[in-house]
């Protein structure tokens, strides 16, 4: 028997049971407090991630608006419906119609491919209908690779780019472009793009009046 003051007493078994129950309650309370802490931490992390997502969404919306504004501000040139060309505008307003060299020519050649002529036919049609008073410069470009044996007849990349630009100029003149307002220029590898494939190209530049 365990005596607790006065006349009241409890058995050792009841005392031990009370102590055990108290311990279990304490452990349960501690567990609930830990769960609450973890839930609070998880909620804080969620709030942080949500805030980051909101910021990222706002940034993307801003980028989209800027891209849309740039697209809307970009002038309609008339070349948009021609497959296989890339259209740009240089500072000063000159319009650039970029045709990949691999579309126009076989490797090491300045002879226009038959399927490339259809593309140049469409380009010449727009030039005649919408840019009949503009001066046109046909620019030839290559990659920076040294000419291999099969291309050695050109000597340099500049010579190859010149021959290709002249081939495009000659074809456009044959399609009705005034010879007095079109000329060609060769740049070889001097203005390379991100890849060798993109560097091999002919750019038809419609100069401002």
For the chain, the structural domain boundaries read 9-73, 86-206
Please check the confidence at residue 57 and state whether its pLDDT lies above 50: yes
Q: For residue 140, give both structure tokens.
A: 């030839």
In this structure, are strands 95-100 and 201-206 parallel, antiparallel, or unpaired? antiparallel
Q: What is the mean pLDDT of residues 177-197?
A: 92
Q: Which residue has the higher pLDDT, 17 or 8?
A: 17
Cβ atoms 108, 150 nearer than 8 A: yes
CATH code reported for the domain at 86-206: 3.30.1330.60
Residue 92 has pLDDT above 70, yes or no: yes
pTM of the model: 0.64
Which range (26-30, 57-61, 96-100, 151-155) has the least confidence? 151-155
Residues 6 or more apart whose Cβ sits within 8 Å of residue 177: 124, 127, 128, 136
pLDDT in tens, 25-50: 888 888 888 888 888 877 777 777 77
Mean pLDDT of 164-173: 97
Strand partners, 105: 112
**3-class DSSP state for residue 14?**
helix
Residue 136, helix vs strand vs coil: strand
Structure tokens at 83: 């497959």
User: Which has the closest alpha carbon to 97: 162, 172, 163, 160?
Assistant: 172
pLDDT of 145 over the 90 cut: no
Which pLDDT does position 154 carry in this prediction? 84
Please state which of the ranges 14-18, 73-77, 187-191 shows the lowest mean pLDDT.
Answer: 73-77
pLDDT at residue 180 greater than cutoff 60: yes
pLDDT at 190 over 50: yes
How large is the average pLDDT for residues 118-139? Answer: 95
Instruction: Please give the pLDDT value at position 1.
Output: 44
């Amino acid at each position: 028997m365990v005596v607790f003051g006065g006349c009241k007493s409890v058995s050792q078994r009841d005392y031990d049971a009370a102590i055990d129950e108290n311990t279990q309650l304490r452990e349960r309370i501690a567990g609930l407090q830990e769960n609450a802490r973890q839930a609070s931490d998880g909620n804080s992390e969620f709030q942080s991630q949500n805030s980051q997502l909101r910021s990222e969404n706002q940034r993307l919306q801003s980028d989209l608006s800027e891209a849309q504004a740039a697209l809307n501000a970009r002038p309609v040139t008339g070349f948009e419906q021609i497959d296989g060309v890339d259209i740009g505008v240089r500072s000063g307003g000159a319009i650039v119609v970029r045709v990949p060299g691999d579309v126009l020519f076989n490797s090491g050649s300045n002879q226009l491919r038959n399927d490339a002529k259809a593309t140049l036919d469409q380009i010449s049609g727009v030039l005649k209908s919408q840019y009949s008073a503009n001066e046109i410069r046909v620019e030839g470009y290559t990659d920076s690779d040294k000419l291999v044996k099969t291309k050695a007849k050109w000597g340099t990349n500049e010579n190859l780019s010149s021959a290709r630009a002249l081939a495009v100029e000659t074809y456009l003149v044959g399609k009705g472009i005034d010879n007095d307002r079109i000329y060609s220029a060769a740049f070889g590898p001097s203005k390379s793009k991100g890849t060798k494939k993109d560097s091999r190209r002919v750019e038809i530049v419609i100069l401002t009046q």
